[in-house]
Amino acid sequence: MNAATLAALVLVTFALGYRFYSGFLSRSIFALSPHEPVPSRELKDGVDYVPTRLHVLWGHHFASIAGAAPIVGPAIAVIWGWVPALIWVCVGTVFMGAAHDFSALVISARHQGRSIGDIAGRVVSPRVRTLFLIIISLLIWVVLAVFAFIIATLFVSNPSSIFPINIQILVAMILGWLVYKRGFPMFLPSLVCYAGLLVAIFYGGAVAHALPALTSISITTWVCLLLAYSFVASVMPVWLLLQPRDYINSHQLVTGLFVLSAGLLVLRPEIVAPALNAAPEGAPSLIPFLFVTIACGAISGFHGLVSSGTTSKQLSRMTDARPIGYGAMLAEGFLGLMAVLAATAGFESSADWWTHYSSWGAANGLAAKLDAFVSGGASFVAALGIPFETARTFMAVMVIAFAATSLDTGARIQRLVLAELADAYDIKPLSNRFVAGGIGIGAALLLAITQGDGQGGLALWPLFGTTNQLVAGVTLLIVTIWLKKQGRPHLYTLIPMLAVSAVTAWAMVGNLLDYYENFEALWLLSISGTLILALDLWILFEGLQILRKVEPGMSVGSVKA
């Protein structure tokens, strides 16, 4: 099967989904109007609540949600064959992921830009708010460990990426200083900074060769260094690193998708992976684990945190929620699509593909799956005349940069969630940003270094995927209750909620059975997974009780589970 043809078919599906399904949700389910009030104008403060132009907010939102997960997840999941991975990316994005992000954005905007955790307290009960915040904290905990491990793995396998990534941090801080302290506009200086990053990519291999000590650093050491860095980044002013680097990353993402697409059209490679490989050696079962292995490339609870945490406070008008909430998730689905194709059509032969995917732990597990995307994507880029090694460094830097964004954002969200829990229960030390940040990073370090060994860290990915999808299910539950209260059709969020909650709980049970068999080594995963599943089932039970009893027009707070 030709990869370019498949890409065209999926893109047509995405276009039809946006044209018809998102239009239906916008008009018939949420009844959006360009004239209704929005928090950015009613509560405008120039800091968090700021009316923002559509294209600017779209770019910021996309950069915030497009971490490394839509790349890593598909690069792992194609071990079961390209057909199930491609179907889940396509169908999941259109009917579940994009609807989830759009719904979370709208419901937050109609609750003064409050977070989905806060809204859960209003829609269900204050107790559920606390339980949900704990699950969110556990999700971020796993995110920090997983993405630190991903970056460390790529640094070891692609040392040419180390220099460009450090240059990106430096130029991002320079950009932040120029914009916020010297009054420069963001766009043109950001292009200059991005050009500096591209130059650093070109020389990345030479620097790694000149400094051989870089290649001797172990994955565990890199994980420690990366989490120490993320602690520093989480307590720094957001304008100094996080915002400018996100903006530079948006240029990198647009460039990356463009050159991958152009190279795909020039090369027009055939897929060399099997259409279906239902029982790979050592791998968990295709169903339900496909649906949690590809998380952000189809549906992601983390996106709901972004939609309700920052984006909803910046909507200039309510109708912008459709292109931002639904449209940006389609763009992330496109990134997931390219990951599937790079990891199945980027090899010279079927034998090369089987070297990476003959078993769950083949060729060192996670490292091999990441290399499948990096090398496969590089082959697409090289078709444009770019040297293969430079193209490979470019692909590695793209994955690392987005993983680092997730690391920085996750560390900051973790600190804020812990502070919110501290305020609720009057735990004063946790209100200190350094204490909260240190606890969050310390816990992630413990998880990464004690549970990340074996198969190159693949043990961490299923827990990340299941926790992420459980959060998505709870978010859809909150939206469903709210829609029913408003007297609006709610099946379009209820069905995805039931589906994602059921399959994810099934996957979590499967995870736990595996963890319990090796409890001595995976004790932390066993305990945390059990806690996450118990909290999720508790929230679902209370929420479904509310959903059953609530009537249109009824005050949800008056309904008791």
Q: Give CA–CA dist 431/434, Å, rounded.
A: 9
Instruction: Please give the pLDDT value at position 310.
Output: 80
Query: Are the C-beta atoms of 514 and 459 separated by less than 8 Å?
Result: no
Q: Do residues 25 and 99 lie in contact, with contact meaning Cβ atoms separated by under 8 Å?
A: yes
For the chain, give the mean pLDDT: 89
Supply 387's token pair. 């040297």
Q: CA 159 to CA 203: how far, in whole Å?
A: 12
Instruction: List, in order of start, the domains of the chain with CATH numbers.
Output: 3-556 (1.20.1730)
Phi, psi of 34 (to 5 degrees): -70, -10
Under 8 Å between Cβ of 502 and 436: no
Nearest CA to 16 out of 85, 91, 84 is that of: 91
Residues 6+ apart with CB under 8 A from 219: 149, 152, 153, 156, 452, 457
Between 149 and 30, where is the model more confident? 30
Tokens 């496909």 label which residue? 290
Nearest to 296 by CA among 33, 138, 76, 141: 76
DSSP code per residue over 110-167: TTTT--HHHHHHHHT-HHHHHHHHHHHHHHHHHHHHHHHHHHHHHHHH-GGGHHHHHH
The 10s digit of each residue's pLDDT in 167-217 is 999 999 999 899 888 888 888 999 999 999 999 999 999 999 999 888 889
pLDDT, tens only, 144-170: 988 898 899 899 989 999 999 999 999
**Average of per-residue pLDDT across 540-550:** 90
Asked if pLDDT for residue 287 goes beyond 90, the answer is yes
- What pLDDT shows up at residue 557? 52
What does the pLDDT average to over 17-44? 94
Q: What is the pLDDT of residue 3?
A: 95
Q: With the C-alpha atoms ordered 41, 45, 47, 48, is the resulting torsion angle positive or negative?
A: negative
Those residues with Cβ within 8 angstroms of residue 254's Cβ, 6 or more apart along the chain or in another chain: none
Question: Could you give the CA distance from residue 301 to residue 303 in angstroms, rounded to a whole number?
Answer: 5
Q: Using CA atoms, how far apart are residues 175 and 164, in angstroms rounded to an integer?
A: 16
| Neighbour count for residue 209 (Cβ, 10 Å) | 12
pLDDT digits (tens, 9 = 90+) for 320-332: 999 999 999 999 9
**Which of 104-108, 258-262, 417-421 is predicted with the least confidence, judged by mean pLDDT?**
417-421
Which phi and psi angles does 249 have, rounded to 5°? -60, -35
34 DSSP 8-state letter? T
Q: Give the model's pLDDT for residue 430.
A: 79
pLDDT at 554: 61
Q: What is the pLDDT of residue 216?
A: 87
Query: What are the angstrom distances between the C-alpha of 96 and each of 21, 49, 57, 86, 494?
Result: 11, 28, 22, 15, 11
Q: Could you give the CA distance from residue 513 to residue 285 in angstroms, rounded to a whole number?
A: 13
CA distance linking residue 199 with residue 409, whole number of Å: 26
Element (H, E) at 80: none
Query: What are the C-alpha distances in Å from 386 to residues 251, 255, 372, 379, 509?
Result: 19, 14, 19, 10, 46
> Using one digit for the tens of pLDDT, what is the confidence trace for 121-136?
888 888 888 998 899 8
Structure token digits, residue 409: 């954002």
Give the per-residue pLDDT at 8.
95
Segment 483-492, tens digit of pLDDT = 999 999 999 9
The pTM score is 0.89
Residue with tokens 């292109």: 323
